[in-house]
Amino acid sequence: MTDLKKTILLVSADRTATGSLEKLLELNGYRAWVSTTLAASLSEIRRRPPMLILLDRQILATEGGRRDQFPPAIPIIVLQPFDKSCGQDECLTELDAGFDLVFCSPHSRELLAHIRAILRRHNMPSAAPSVLRVEGLTMDISRHEVTVEGALVELTPKEFRILHQFLLAPGVVLSRQDLLNRVWGEDYALEEHALDVHIHSLRQKIEANPAKPIFIVTIRGVGYKLQSP
């Protein structure tokens, strides 16, 4: 029987590239599955969810793929074809959309290192409950849902991750850099303003009066904290 904890799904129509990646992964102890279309990959994931997905950027461009089509618990690395340039704006857009990494390097050892690092972050043992709440605000991790006073709130993947960090430590002040490291990863040198923009958007969705927030409050000169109303 296949060990699903060791499987990686490759989503790409480039058979030459997937052949090389399959060999690389299998030589390093992983089992690789290949899907050549977005629709086929989503069907495959429902039958046997992998531990990680390597997603060809061309699939995103040609088939209109989105992060929220995939289970939020499965990390996804977007692969840029090595013979094409990787624009910073495009990379930031995909990271903000919830993808875990946009990889543009032809170096296989670097890709393997990123895979191991991402899997360590996602597979850390945790005793955290599947439902987190403060008064009036609830997050159901397993269902990927957030409600405020019982009303469902639609969050982007990044907003969900930011709120998750707050709910794991209610009342604790989290610095901007700490939040950036936890949500985007330590490999990315993003400006703190990018986080502030996401916090602003999150407040618009969960606060009754975003101008006077009662959940996510700013600690001037330090960062933010989640408090109970």
8-28: average pLDDT: 87
pLDDT for 218 equals: 94
pLDDT tens digit sequence for 200-218: 999 999 999 999 999 999 9
Query: Where would I find the H helices in 79-175?
Result: 88-96, 108-122, 157-168
Confidence at residue 177, expressed as pLDDT on a 0 to 100 scale? 84
Which alpha helices (DSSP H) does 100-156 contain, by range? 108-122
Convert the pLDDT of each residue in 41-95 to its tens digit.
888 887 788 889 999 888 888 888 888 888 888 899 998 875 565 666 667 778 8
Sign of CA dihedral 112, 114, 115, 116: positive
**Identity of the residue numbered 47:** R
Q: Which residue has the tokens 């950027």?
A: 57
Q: What is the pTM of this model?
A: 0.55
Are 47 and 79 members of one domain?
Answer: yes
Higher pLDDT: 3 or 46? It is 46
Q: How far apart (Å, rounded) are the C-alpha atoms in residues 166 and 186? A: 18
Q: Give burial (CB, 10 Å; 0-12/13-18/19+) of 8.
A: buried
pLDDT of residue 1: 39
Check if the beta carbon of residue 195 is closer than 8 Å to that of residue 141. no
Same-domain check for residues 165 and 182? yes
pLDDT band at 222 (very low <50, low <70, confident <90, very high): confident
Number of domains present in the structure of the chain: 2
Q: How confident is the model at residue 2 (pLDDT cuts 50, 70, 90)?
A: very low
How high is the pLDDT of residue 154?
A: 94
Residue 189 has a pLDDT of 59
Write down which residue in 86, 105, 122 finishes a domain. 122
Domain end among 88, 122, 156: 122
- Mean pLDDT confidence for 92-105: 81
Give yes or no: residues 107 and 160 share one domain.
no
Residues 107 and 179 in one domain: no
* Residue scoring higher pLDDT (104 or 157): 157
Give Cβ neighbours of residue 116 (< 8 Å, ≥ 6 apart): none
CATH label of the domain that carries residue 67:
3.40.50.2300
Find the mean pLDDT for residues 102-122.
83
Q: CATH number of the domain at 167, please.
A: 1.10.10.10
**Using one digit for the tens of pLDDT, what is the confidence trace for 150-202?**
999 999 988 999 999 999 888 888 888 888 888 877 656 566 788 899 999 99
Full residue range of the structural domain in which residue 17 is found: 4-122
